[in-house]
Amino acid sequence: MGLIEETSAFALGNYLKERKVISREKRVSTITAYQGNNQTLQDDINVTEVRQRIRTFSQSSKDEILEALKLLSKIKEAPVIIHGAIGCSAAELYFYKEEDKNTWYSTDLNERDTIMGGDEKLKKTVERAYKKYKSKVIFVVGTPVVAINNDDINSVILELEEELDTKIISIDTDGFKTKASINGIDIVLHALGRYVIQKSTDQEKEDFINLISISENKKGIEEILRLLGELEVNVNTIPQFASIDEIKKAHLAKVSIAVNDDEADILLRGILEKSQVPSIKSKVPIGISGTSSWLEELGKSIDIQDKVTTFVTKEEKRLEKYTSKQPLLGKKIFIDLPTSVAIELIGFIEELGGEVTGISISHIDNLNRDKFKVLSKEVFVKIGDGQPFELVNILLKNKPDFYIGNTDQVGLVSKLGISPISVTNKTLYGYEGAIELIRSFQKLEKRKGFVNYLSENTKLPYKETWLKKSSNWFIKQEVK
Amino acid sequence: MQESIERNRHGCNLNGALQTITQINGVVPILHSTPGCGIQSYLSNKAGGSSTGYVNGYSVPNTNVYEKQIIFGGTSRLREQIKNTVKVIEGDLYVTISGCGAEMVGDDLIAMTQESIDQGEKAIYYKAPGFKGNEHVGYEGVVSAIISQLSCVTQVHTEKVKGLINIFGVLPKQDIYWQGNLNEIERILENIGIKTNKLFGYGQGIEQWKDIASAELNVVVSKWGRSAAEKAKEKYGTPFIQFDDIGLGADDVGHFVSEIAKKMGIETDKVEAYLENEKNKFTYALEQITEYYFEYDFQKSVAIVGDESTVIRYSKFLAKYLGLEVEVAIITDSVGEENRTEATASIKEFANEVYFSKDSSGIDKIITNGNVELILGSGLENRIAKKLDISNYIVSYPAFGKVVIGKSDVGYTGAVTLLEDLSNLFISKESNVPRNKVI
């Protein structure tokens, strides 16, 4: 905890100068395939060169392009051009369905373009987007077709920047050089750091903090803002829900703090590197102690400890009636969420008397591996985005009472007769998020009709022989 | 040069193939592509409609090829994936589907599929690089691929069954009412003694696809069904009949049914009696909105946005039975110029202006200039509806915020549903219920 320092993970002060951010695997030894208990995992990762494993059977998972698109869709007033075949923008329908102002373009590359190159089309699309929106920034997202063909996006951009009064930012995703989809977030944050964040000196600071939000939903951020409002802290929330001007303002802040510093790492470092704004490293504000500790870290760095202590004490008192009864006593819980969120949630489940018997997370790396040390050695850990075939195998053996995850797997979980909580549309963060979760557990206990009916009347497409096998059967050591 | 598209409503060939075959029970897709392709499809489908499928979303097997396989080739990774998919997931048919990356580096999808067939597995292949066509092409392609390859891996039923027809051209998910529409066709034709092979949705698996060869007639209900019918004709000699669309309300459905009956040699009296009864039922329903019709001024001017078959169907119905004025009709799935002339000809009588566009900002402009009071479009038209302060009744993909399971928008049942929905919309709007609500 505390401030991000030079010594951690990799040296500061030079990575923004690089045109591309190094992939997560190479930068922080990210692992995306593993199954076993926490003890074995610890032995595995605390070595100089971590063992990479692969899946010899795999199901669909997210790629870096999806993570990049999702984040870009939440940045205001900046058109996004997906330079590739039309399917690479299909998910935009989901990401943009509630947005009124943002927009995206697909260059809709066809067979001819894959042979002759799509540069001209990209050029026309950027011009078209600029002519219509006159935005300060236009993002161009790379895709497999463009990467395999080695289309030169950067020369197109250089040429256009001479003509048009806008910053054209290349998001250097290709969809196949990393297995960690979170890399897409890194690439976007690196681009923001390099092209949007301003240089500054210490004297110019203003009275606000940067709140870095990457993937939290609106409700979650509203709760965090409520907490900061109570403490009379002025906040600049970036890059989600922010305009380019708001992101540009980041260098004037007193400090930066992320909701989830695993995801926000690159931007925290970028702002520090370019504008000397200190970045606070902290727990994720989930559950009661997680939230309090997040606020306390912030309090320390902007010198409002007393105010924080008073507020935290008041809020914790307010929540006592929910936690004192230990509503999860004797319950077994399985968590399937992004790494840092999952880890923090474990603490909260334990506060409520529950026992976390297994977790499924997308990845583990040097940025978050220390957080695992606090976990019980017996907790079962599955690493890898998606892979429901593994999940069903694990859940049948793990037999939890509840499952907490995003919506993606709730169908499968329900069919197994396990009550799921989907946090996709829940507050999750802060004290209100904690209360909402407790209420969700209470609801699940009583309202089992839907899950019971589904589990008794439906079946899953997996073979019995597979379900009897060890769940890590298809995870093998990579042959180099 | 083909233009870029702002806010595209359709995905690629692979997305189309995937959303099509996941609606056949027992079919297991095996994607051979970079990670993300399966989830792009899943998320776009999740934006509205309904979420079903035997093996769907995150469950779809995918080789998730990465750098090493892009450089050195991913054929052996595919071999490993097929072998293991068969061990993990129960399936009546495995369909290997290649995406952009695999096609560009030249992985041998056909050889790997054949290898598993040689080992006794039921597998077929479909090449679906995203740069070769959109979701509609994916439907067309994968349906034809199953028809041509299924007989190579299993015994199909070639003996003709009297009164059996196959329906081609209802696109799962792309037609947001596809489940209800197939059921409505089945219901109508059942009444004149015809058995419909729906091929997709509840209770439809490989057995039904084996039955394709035993049908007496193939019925094509949108231009996207034609290639499947041609394939079946070439392979099994089955004749086909093609319609622009199924029809909505008495006259068009009547035409649809009579034409099929004629081809199948069904007694005219029986058909006429049935159609008469349905028409009376429809009129009885229509009569019931008469007072609301005039009290709440139903004679609006509208814009319709959607696939060709949808636009044709709604234009005819709204103009003929409800006296609405179709100011602009915008077709979003056109390919090539000749096709445009045909489509324009078939609705010119019912719509003042016919446009072809896939670009949402272009569509917004057409709607704005059309000066309409109501939009019948997709979820992507929500924002222009809000800007113009008019309602958007969702009839096409993507159906943001709308769950559709049993409802249909074809035939007689579809007509009554539409009468109810539009009446509710007009009445609530006049009664100052909050506007722009998605209905």
With an 8 Å Cβ cutoff, are B3 and A84 in contact? no
With an 8 Å Cβ cutoff, are B34 and A63 in contact? yes
pLDDT score, position A5 = 55
The pLDDT tens digits of the residues spanning A160-195 come to: 999 999 999 999 999 999 999 999 999 999 999 999
- How far apart, in whole angstroms, are the C-alpha atoms of residue A57 and residue A175? 19
Say whether both A75 and A159 belong to one domain: yes
**B29, closest residue in chain A (CA to CA):** A59
B437 has a pLDDT exceeding 50: no
Tell me how crowded residue A122 is: count the other CB atoms within 10 A of its CB. Answer: 27
A1 has a pLDDT exceeding 70: no
Q: Which two tokens stand for residue A376?
A: 């019980």
- Region A337-353: mean pLDDT is 94
Say whether both A133 and A268 belong to one domain: no
With an 8 Å Cβ cutoff, are B58 and A387 in contact? yes
- Region A227-254: mean pLDDT is 96
pLDDT score, position A2 = 61
Tell me the residue type at B197.
N
pLDDT score, position A14 = 63
Residue B261 in any domain: the answer is: no
Give the nearest partner residue to A59 out of B34, B36, B61, using CB atoms: B61
Assess contact for B37 and B17: CB atoms under 8 A.
Answer: no
The pLDDT tens digits of the residues spanning A294-319 come to: 999 999 999 999 999 999 999 999 99
Residue B4 in any domain: the answer is: no
A6 has a pLDDT exceeding 50: no
Say whether both A464 and A330 belong to one domain: yes
**A388, closest residue in chain B (CA to CA):** B59
Q: Give A105 to chain B, closest Cα distance, Å.
A: 4
- Region B232-238: mean pLDDT is 96
Among A195, A225, A259, give the residue marking a domain's end.
A195
Residue B35 in any domain: the answer is: yes
In terms of residue numbers, what domain contains A110?
A: 62-195
Residue B55 in any domain: the answer is: yes
B230 has a pLDDT exceeding 90: yes
Residue A237 in any domain: the answer is: yes
Task: Give residues 163 to 202 of A whose Cβ lies within 8 Å of B.
Answer: 175-179, 181
Residue B158 in any domain: the answer is: no
Q: How many residues does chain B have?
A: 439
pLDDT score, position B338 = 66
Total structural domains in chain B? 2
pLDDT class of B53 with cuts at 50, 70, 90:
confident
Give the nearest partner residue to B88 out of A87, A109, A462, using CB atoms: A462
A96 has a pLDDT exceeding 50: yes
Residue B365's Cβ-count burial label (10 Å; 0-12, 13-18, 19+) is middle
Residue A292 in any domain: the answer is: no
> Is 0.90 topped by the overall pTM?
yes
Q: In chain B, pLDDT over 90 holds for what percent of residues?
A: 90
A409 contacts on B by Cβ (under 8 Å): 58
The pLDDT tens digits of the residues spanning A349-393 come to: 999 999 999 999 999 998 888 888 888 899 999 999 999 999 999
Separation in Å, CA B81 to CA A391, A458, B84: 18, 27, 5
Residue A106 in any domain: the answer is: yes
**At residue A238, what are phi and psi to the nearest 5 degrees?**
-140, 165
Q: Which two tokens stand for residue A217?
A: 């939903």
Probe site for chain A from B131, B335, B359, B388 (most A CB atoms < 10 A): B131
- Region A433-458: mean pLDDT is 93
Assess contact for A348 and A288: CB atoms under 8 A.
Answer: yes
Say whether both A338 and A460 belong to one domain: yes
Among B104, B129, B153, give the residue marking a domain's end.
B153
The pLDDT tens digits of the residues spanning B385-424 come to: 999 999 999 999 999 989 999 999 999 999 999 999 999 9
Give the nearest partner residue to B132 out of A105, A111, A388, using CB atoms: A111
Give the nearest partner residue to B104 out of A81, A114, A129, using CB atoms: A114
Q: Give B273 to chain A, closest Cα distance, Å.
A: 41
Residue A354 in any domain: the answer is: yes
Among B109, B127, B153, give the residue marking a domain's end.
B153
Say whether both A226 and A178 belong to one domain: no
A11 has a pLDDT exceeding 50: no
**Given CB atoms, is A110 within the 8 Å cutoff of chain B?**
yes
Residue A331 in any domain: the answer is: yes
Among A174, A195, A216, give the residue marking a domain's end.
A195
Say whether both A383 and A465 belong to one domain: yes
Give the nearest partner residue to B34 out of A129, A175, A408, using CB atoms: A175
Q: Give A296 to chain B, closest Cα distance, Å.
A: 38
A72 has a pLDDT exceeding 60: yes
Among A173, A195, A217, give the residue marking a domain's end.
A195
Q: Give A81 to chain B, closest Cα distance, Å.
A: 9
pLDDT score, position B346 = 84
With an 8 Å Cβ cutoff, are B70 and A465 in contact? no
B270 has a pLDDT exceeding 70: yes
Residue A191, domain CATH: 3.40.50.1980
Say whether both A469 and A330 belong to one domain: yes
Separation in Å, CA A80 to CA A91, A188, B232: 13, 12, 43
Residue B417, domain CATH: 3.40.50.1980
Judge if the upstream peptide bond of residue B398 is cis by omega within 30 degrees of 0.
yes
Q: Which of A400, A373, A367, A130 is nearest to A268 (CA)?
A: A367
- How far apart, in whole angstroms, are the C-alpha atoms of residue B73 and residue B65? 9
Q: Give B196 to chain A, closest Cα distance, Å.
A: 26
Residue A224 in any domain: the answer is: yes
- How far apart, in whole angstroms, are the C-alpha atoms of residue A199 and residue A275? 5
Say whether both A262 and A166 belong to one domain: no
Burial B266-298 (b: 16+ CB within 10 A, else e): beeeebeebbeebbeebeeebeebeebbeebeb
**Given CB atoms, is A310 within the 8 Å cutoff of chain B?**
no
- E runs forming strands in B117-248: 123-127, 164-168, 195-197, 217-220, 240-242
Assess contact for B316 and B248: CB atoms under 8 A.
Answer: yes
Say whether both A269 and A172 belong to one domain: no
In terms of residue numbers, what domain contains B401?
A: 289-430
pLDDT score, position A290 = 96
Total structural domains in chain A? 3
**Given CB atoms, is A56 within the 8 Å cutoff of chain B?**
yes
Displacement of CA A353 from its chain's centroid (Å): 27
Among B123, B153, B183, give the residue marking a domain's end.
B153
Say whether both A273 and A142 belong to one domain: no
Average pLDDT of every residue of chain B: 94
Task: Give residues 114 to 153 of A whose Cβ lies within 8 Å of B.
Answer: 114, 120-121, 124-125, 128-129, 132, 144-145, 148-149
- How far apart, in whole angstroms, are the C-alpha atoms of residue A334 and residue A359? 6
A10 has a pLDDT exceeding 50: no
Assess contact for B310 and B247: CB atoms under 8 A.
Answer: no
**A385, closest residue in chain B (CA to CA):** B58
Say whether both A377 and A344 belong to one domain: yes
With an 8 Å Cβ cutoff, are A85 and B31 in contact? no
With an 8 Å Cβ cutoff, are A108 and B80 in contact? no
Q: Give A145 to chain B, closest Cα distance, Å.
A: 7
Say whether both A220 and A162 belong to one domain: no
The pLDDT tens digits of the residues spanning B81-127 come to: 999 999 999 999 999 999 999 999 999 999 999 999 999 999 999 99
Residue B322 in any domain: the answer is: yes
A388 contacts on B by Cβ (under 8 Å): 58-59
